[in-house]
Amino acid sequence: MIYNKNLKIAGRPLECIILILLMLCTSSANAQPTKEDSVAVKSIFSKSLDDQKGWENLRYLSKNIGARINGSPQLQRAIEWAKAELSHMQLEKVYLQPVMVPHWERGGKEYAAIHVKDSTLSLSVCALGGSVATNGYLKAKVVEIKSWEELKALSKKEVSGKYVFFNRAMDPTDAESFNAYLKAVDQRAIGAIEAAKKGAIGALIRSLTLSIHDYPHTGAMQYNDKVNKIPSAALSTNSADLLSSLLKSSPDLEIGLKMTCATFPDTVSYNVIGEISGSQYSDEIITVGAHIDSWDLSESASDNGSGVVQAIEAIRILSHMKTKPLRTIRAVIYTDEEQSATGGLTYAEEAKRLKERHIACIESDAGGFVPVGFRMSGDSAALASLKDMMGLFAPYNCSGIEHDPRGVDIAPMREQAKAIISLDCSDHRFFNIHHSALDTMDKLNKREINLGTGAMTSLVYLISKYGL
């Protein structure tokens, strides 16, 4: 087309039409953040750092409701509480999304002991989530392994009728604790399957923590319907070290274990969703979320009460801003992240069924510690836009960008959203308490949680303004 400055469309000069189109493009994608954005981000962080409501909510969720495992009255109470909190904001929509979740109960307190010579030494132990029971006091010899290669090298005769003791510790030389966790978690996840293939009667897993203490750390484990299901339990790191030491001098010692856990039929739970409709691009959705379910050993303030209050406070702050967001913002409080991730899967399936257009899905599930930035994945244009925004986070020391988001709930949206993003936090203290009785509110710091709220809220604000 040849440019003609005198050309008019609907009575308007072409220059005017071009200017309008440029303005629309600038408001919808890849715009460079401005001084005005810096002021807005500063205001959001100021509101977040001065916030008292989030800390009060964390106290209520942790102390008044407590552990929130699938199928428990506490999880249902937490869901109703989250819905009430969102409803108080007078958002356009607040609703529950039904989710079918597995229902496993720990039963009575587990007991384990080492029987060596004429002595009986108690161990700190807990069942892994989803484990079968021992059906009484199950006593047998032990074979210790520290790698899959060691297990593979053992004959079925050497393992049959024994416990397999997986004693591969998290790597203390890895500067990032989460990486050390990811490299060791496979033994918890599939240890019972691989041990059973060799004829073992049970699996004992060293707790996934770098701390040396007497608190066992639970977590999800798996079975294969084609392989015999054997009990699987976590030993505290102190107990694991004791067992390993005694096996060197007394290889014929025995372990006794009693667990009364049980699995029940799947039950209904709910994702909690609250929504602010976008003023211009209401069909473009940004989610900010966290999972509300937990394991049953503690009040689970860090994993993931902290993320829940950050997501709730993010949408609260945004709903109180003078200007309505251009794009639709959803707070999504997911259920069942810990056991089978059906909350995130159900959300993704429903979004696909409704043909919704998600431009970003953001999650906080990094323990509530000091934020250092974000972990992102998505198309190249979206990542370029996000990178441009990160300069605004430098004054708050959380402008870092890493790949491979770690939010389990947002992972199913990878193919549907332009970007999936997880808040990235310092993880040096996270695995000290992760999935254990130590996960209590006194381990957290209000200012660190509020900084995370500010970071998440600011990112949602910027994506809502510019798109991706």
Gap between the Cα atoms of 395 and 254, Å rounded:
57
The reported pLDDT for the residue numbered 424 is 98
Active site (catalytic) residues? 337
| Average pLDDT, integer, range 186-197 | 98
Q: Is pLDDT at 23 greater than 60 in this prediction? A: no
430 in helix, strand or coil? helix
Supply the pTM of this predicted model. 0.91
State phi, psi for 383 to the nearest 5 degrees.
Answer: -65, -35
Residue with tokens 């500010």, as numbered in its chain: 454
Looking at the chain, the domain(s) classified CATH 3.40.630.10 span 32-103+265-466
238 in helix, strand or coil? helix
pLDDT in tens, 42-55: 999 999 999 999 99
| Average pLDDT, integer, range 304-331 | 96
Gap between the Cα atoms of 314 and 308, Å rounded:
10
**E strands, 30-124, where?**
93-105, 111-116, 119-123
The reported pLDDT for the residue numbered 16 is 44
Residue with tokens 């506490």, as numbered in its chain: 74
The reported pLDDT for the residue numbered 285 is 98
Least confident piece of the model among 30-44, 81-95, 214-228: 30-44
Name the fold adopted by 32-103+265-466: Aminopeptidase (3.40.630)
The reported pLDDT for the residue numbered 32 is 76
Residue with tokens 């989250």, as numbered in its chain: 82
pLDDT in tens, 424-438: 999 999 999 999 999
Q: Is pLDDT at 7 greater than 70 in this prediction? A: no
Name the fold adopted by 107-260: Glucose Oxidase; domain 1 (3.50.30)
Average pLDDT, the chain: 93
Looking at the chain, the domain(s) classified CATH 3.50.30.30 span 107-260
Q: What is the dihedral of CA 453, 31, 357, 410, to 10 degrees?
A: -40
